[in-house]
Structure 1
Amino acid sequence: MRIGLLGTGPWAERVHAPVLADHPGLEFAGVWGRRPEAATALGAAHGVSGYADLDTLLSEVDAVSIALPPSVQADLAVRAAEAGCHLLLDKPVALTVPDARRVAEAVREHKVASVVFFTVRFGGDQIPWIEQQAALGGWFTGRSDWLGSVFAPGSSSPYSASPWRQEKGALWDVGPHALSVLLPVLGDATQVTAVAGPLDTLHLVLRHAGGASSTLALSLTTPVAGGGTGMEIRGEHGVAHLPERGEGPIAALHRALDALHESARTGEPHPCGADFGLRVVEILAAAERSLESAGPVDV
């Protein structure tokens, strides 16, 4: 499978480009970016061409790996799907429900494969844990904490200059990670209630289709000493904790690309495809409405 990279920022440079260049099942074909000089430089670092014209790249590849802000991703994902390219999407798929729906509809209409790269869903220890807990069932409640320090004093995060993260905060950045694990285990969300915490911190309460409930604590402004992630679920089988991440995003992206390749080969949609990405955006948008209305919102 020939694959191109869309994006030249820190996430593209640190994760996507090295993985695409190293993945044994892919041929890394080139890089397109909104700044042609950056695309040329990133491509040269990995022995591939930089493309100034997106349509030229799309015509020469089978798939694209997108590492762009969600406000930009949706239009380009639709354009790539229309060109017949399979899609490795970043989370969130978009910042509005209509944009996310356009991506999902384009994937279905043009019969391309899609995978949304939720890093935890493709973790080596997390994949079997999620599958096992979903198969067990009988869960009563869950709790998920995603307390990041991207914007905290003393943070050295390379993503602190990200305009979309500054605007949309933790709900849209780390909220997708929490939902990507809770939903397959506890079931789809039917209702969400959001309450504001300090700075960008949000607390969500979800009701799930199977009767369970869950709480989420989301932040990008947690003091560095107090940050961290964790998830636990409780039910008929006792208490289960999501394994801690022992690897970075590189290994997870390799697995996500394997999943995309397999979905493209078989024609079977992946559980983390564009439709799931749309559902996550619908829940995040409902949480925003809940925050505005100070009450629960059905989803």
Structure 2
Amino acid sequence: MRAPGKVNLSLRVGAVGADGYHPVSTVFQAVSVVEEVVATHADERTLSVSGPQAELVPTGPGNLALRAAELLAERTGIDAGVHLHLHKGVPVAGGMAGGSADAAAALLACDTLWGAGLAREELVELAAELGADVPFSLTGHTAVGTGRGDLLTPALSRGEFHWAFAVQDAGLSTAAVYGRYDELVAAGRPAAQVDGAEADVALLQALLAGDAHALGAALHNDLQDAAVALDPRLAEPLEVARRTGALGVVVSGSGPTVAALGRSRQHALVLAAAFTAAGAADRVLTATGPVAGARVVGVLDTGA
């Protein structure tokens, strides 16, 4: 299975509610930085990890991919084992939903391996129980997310957009970033009025027109100041991208990955090189979007 990471083209965050959650309005775009998950029959349910930052990924029951397998088994009444091998491509704790992509791929993998036969809509319902970003990892492409980000409406998008990502090996805790955001709101910064996609009309029009310049001008993230406050190093890749002519630059989700929109595939490579030359990132990635959500890549021949 293969599932994409994402960038939040816009992320508007309301004040924390009595339930401890923040209402959000966001526009997701799935990008070609992917997680690969291989599922094989096993006596138990186990997990292994390879790829960049693999050592940072827990392999016990708390792993979101294993939780996805357990949830699917529970809801379908299937008593079967599975070994999940994750190959990381999406930065860990980088604001690009790598863990959510793992969970989405694991749901689809186990459904296929076990022959559960759930419809994609049923998998999306299970995905929402695992985390706010997991449904989008299943559906991919471009979508408006409301509620906690899990209520999705597809957004029309034309053409292809080209990205360079400045990746920091030290991730940021999503809870810590939201906590800092709450402190900024308490200190007088107004929280967003979360009212669907009304505030992002210009961004959605840019996507529909395939206008990268207009999209770059419309990028927005209410959590960006909080992320930079927790990790002041993020100011450098943001400035490097602006100096190098990015059409727009934004912290992706809760950070710390910085996403810069290029004029073309070649310009995205130039932006990535600028991040590297300035020492503004531990790693750089380039990608295109939008791309499809979690999907079956193929069936391995085990020789059995």
TM range (shorter): under 0.3
Which structure has more relative contact order (CA 8 Å, sep 6+)? It is 2
TM-score by length of 1: 0.26
Q: Greater share of helix residues, 1 or 2? A: 1
Alignment TM-score, normalising by the size of structure 2: 0.26
